[in-house]
Structure 1
Amino acid sequence: MKAWQYVGGHQIRLNEIPEPDPAPTQVIIDVKAAGLCHSDVMYIEVGESAMPFLPMTQGHENAGVITALGSEVTGFSVGDVVGVCSSGVQPPLGMFTPGGFADKLAADYRDLARVPDGLDLALAALATDAGMTSYHAMIKVGGATKGMKVGVIGFGGLGQIGARAAVLAGAEVHVAEMKEEAWANAREVGAVSCVKDASEWVDASNPRAGGDFDLIVDYAGFDTTQKAVNAIRRGGKVVQVGLGKPTFTIATNTILGKSIEGSLGGTVADIEEVFDLMLRGEITPGYEEISFDQIGEGLERLKNNQVLGRLVAVFGE
């Protein structure tokens, strides 16, 4: 079968590899759709030191059809349509164990979310990471709810879903996104204002006063985290999701009386909640479909910041 693999030297290559066999608690999935993520790019940039072996098949945002079952799998059958959650049952796909930029994928059955009838598989794939991660950070970790003033930094593949989830929860949502072409979409999902930079959320004439946000979720993670801390009120929270830079620095005096918490991934239940919201049309993220053969090119576009929303590779028959 074909697989897009990290081969070392900051290079990804389309290779022919053997088809996987299921371990006792695994299923084999015929992959039908796979989302492309900035995390994929980050692991290519960091290089082989971040991976336990090479070559590594990338891809951690996948949906497809079960074609084989391990001896200990319960609750699933051949033919079931599922998405795969990196919930921690097995090492993260595409980074520490082979992922789904491939014709077939081995995944633990405890990491599977059932795709409801009628949900497009491109959306289902997108929901397994971009949906789960953004939703979990905003609703479960951030606790966004009615009456809160919430900031979203980065209105990309994750931020668009996190912003909409906060709007659905009743929060007043503001977006910081450098690409002004994304602002119309941000307003469409319910954001009340858009700025290019989160520093604009603090009065430049009186920066010591800080901001008045209850919660800011940073889906970017470049030079944004300090700006988020500056913009929350005393007692407010920053939830860090984005991995744009491997390290960042926070001024000690600005964190006092505030909190910052990292959010990684989510749960199968989170994915299934997002599936339901997508099926009902409450969350309709923007995405672009590409082919399996365009995955390498798509990752390069992500690296060069040339993507609005999400890229999803849809596999041919």
Structure 2
Amino acid sequence: MQAVLCKAWGLPETLVVEDLPDLVPGPGQVAVDVKAAGVNFPDVLIIQGKYQFKPELPFTPGSELSGVVRAVGEGVSAVKPGDRVIAFTTGGAFAQQAVVPQQAVMPMPPGMDFDTAAAITLTYGTSHHAVVDRAALQPGETMLVLGAAGGVGLAAIEIGKALGARVIAAASSEEKLAVCREHGADATINYAKEDLREAIKAATDGKGPDVIYDPVGGEYAEAAFRSIGWRGRYLVIGFANGEIPKLPFNLMLLKGASVVGVFWGEFAKREPAANGRAMRQLMGWMAEGKIRPHISARYPLARTAQALEDMAARKVTGKVVIQPGS
């Protein structure tokens, strides 16, 4: 089988594709023929050694996948060879085969295609944990989403609407904002052209948003926080901009506001039962048509580096997937 390998920390161009022996599952493990693998911003950081954890070199990146079970290890009873599954793992998805722990595997809902199935776990899991669990967004509240056209941003928009909130999407181009409106945004802000604080004030009648969802960081964070409403919750998702903001603590005091950290991967590991409930709710919303992943591009395994370069350059709208068999 073929797999992408990271042999040294570096940019996507340093990745290689090599032939490796077929994988054999150990006890409690499931071997999957990978049909699609989702690409996420943490993948860009992991291969550079800049993420919260560092895999041992060499390794295959990629953390979410869909495919068909090829074999199961001793003690596995929840799935069997031939089953269509979704899996989340710490690595190994950018390959034609992957081995994952049985607790990280769930059946694919009937009628779902592989690309969609590979685009759910990390983005929608992150946004559900952020919006539902950490922010406790309520019907009738207002949420501002920064970097709203990215994978987690679009997921946050859809989840906010599923909860009955009003959602304001902020992004850097009219093309990206059009996608946000297609996914339910009630209002939009082009922060490349508009003054962010004035635009937020206008969009909220001066009250400010109840929740701010920020996967970007950088220069817009302080302006957004200064605009937050009373008892607002500022969700720290990540730093796609590359710059970690430094917020003055007096801003939290003046607004009675909270800065709330969101680390879905650790949540899923520490609280698997709660994560399972979240995933079931997401699958239910998908069946009802309330959420629908936006897949903007598909890449063969040989072009994985290009997919990651596009992600790093913030050229991606919604999700992109790797198709190892193409």
Task: State the match for 1:191 in structure 2.
Answer: 185
SS of the residue corresponding to residue 120 of structure 2 reads helix
SS, match of residue 219 in structure 2: coil
Secondary structure of the 1:233 match is coil
Q: 1:300 aligns with which of 297, 303, 309?
A: 309
Hey, what does 1:172 align to over in structure 2? 166
Amino acid at match of 2:137: A
Question: Which AA in structure 2 matches 1:160?
Answer: L
Match in the other structure for 1:258: 257
Residue identity matched to 2:74: S
Matches within 5 A, 1:202-281: 202-203=197-198, 212-244=208-240, 245=242, 247-256=244-253, 257-265=256-264, 266=268, 267-281=275-289
* 1:162 matches 2:156: yes
Offset of 1:236 from its aligned partner? Answer: 1.0
SS in structure 2 at match of 1:202: helix
Query: How far, CA to CA, are the matches of 2:118 and 2:106 in structure 1?
Result: 10
The aligned residue for residue 323 of structure 2 is: 314
**Deviations along 1:236-293, whole A, 9 cap, x unmatched?**
1011112323633111211222111111225233333323333432212321222222
Q: Give the letter aligned to residue 218 of structure 2.
A: F
* 8 Å contact from structure 1 (residues 34, 61) kept in 2: yes
Alpha-carbon distance change, 82 to 268 in structure 1, aligned in 2, over 3 angstroms: farther
Q: Which amino acid aligns with 1:168?
A: A
Count of residues in Structure 1 that have an aligned counterpart in Structure 2: 303
Q: Letter of the 1:281 partner, please give it.
A: G
Kindly provide the CA deviation profile for residues 143-192 of structure 1, in whole angstroms up to 9, marking residues without a partner as x: 22211011111121111111011012110110111122111121222212
Counterpart of 2:47 in 1: which secondary structure?
Answer: helix
- Percent sequence identity over aligned pairs: 29
Shift in Å, 1:48: 9.7
**Structure 2 length as normaliser, TM-score?**
0.85
- Paired residue secondary structure (2:229): strand
Unmatched 5+ residue regions in structure 2?
Answer: 269-274
Residue 129 of structure 1 corresponds to which residue in structure 2?
122
Paired residues of 2:138 and 2:165 also in contact (CA < 8 A): yes
CA distance in 1, matches of 2:154, 2:239: 16
Q: Return the letter of the residue paired with 1:255.
A: M
CA contact (8 A) 1:39 1:243 kept: no
Instruction: Output aligned runs, 1:4-15, within 5 Å.
Output: 4-10=4-10, 11-15=14-18
Measured against aligned partners, the alpha-carbon deviations of 1:214-245 in whole angstroms (never above 9, x if no partner) come to: 11111223334333322222311011112323
2:197 aligned partner, one-letter code: V
Q: Show the 5 A alignment for 1:66-85.
A: 66-85=69-88
Deviates more, 1:128-137 or 1:277-286: 277-286
State yes or no: 1:41 paired with 2:49. Answer: no
- d(CA) in 2 for partners of 1:50 and 1:291? 27
Cα distance in 2 for partners of 1:228, 1:81 equals 42
For 2:30 and 2:158, locate their aligned partners in 1 and report how far apart those are by CA, in whole Å. Answer: 33
- C-alpha contact (below 8 Å) 2:177/2:190 kept by paired residues: no
Change (3 A) 1:121 1:268: farther
Equivalent residue of 1:72, what SS?
Answer: coil
Q: Given residue 253 of structure 1, which amino acid in structure 2 is its aligned partner? A: N
Q: CA RMSD in A?
A: 2.4
Q: Which runs of 5+ in 1 are unaligned?
A: 87-92
Measure the CA separation in 1 of the matches of 2:179 and 2:55: 39
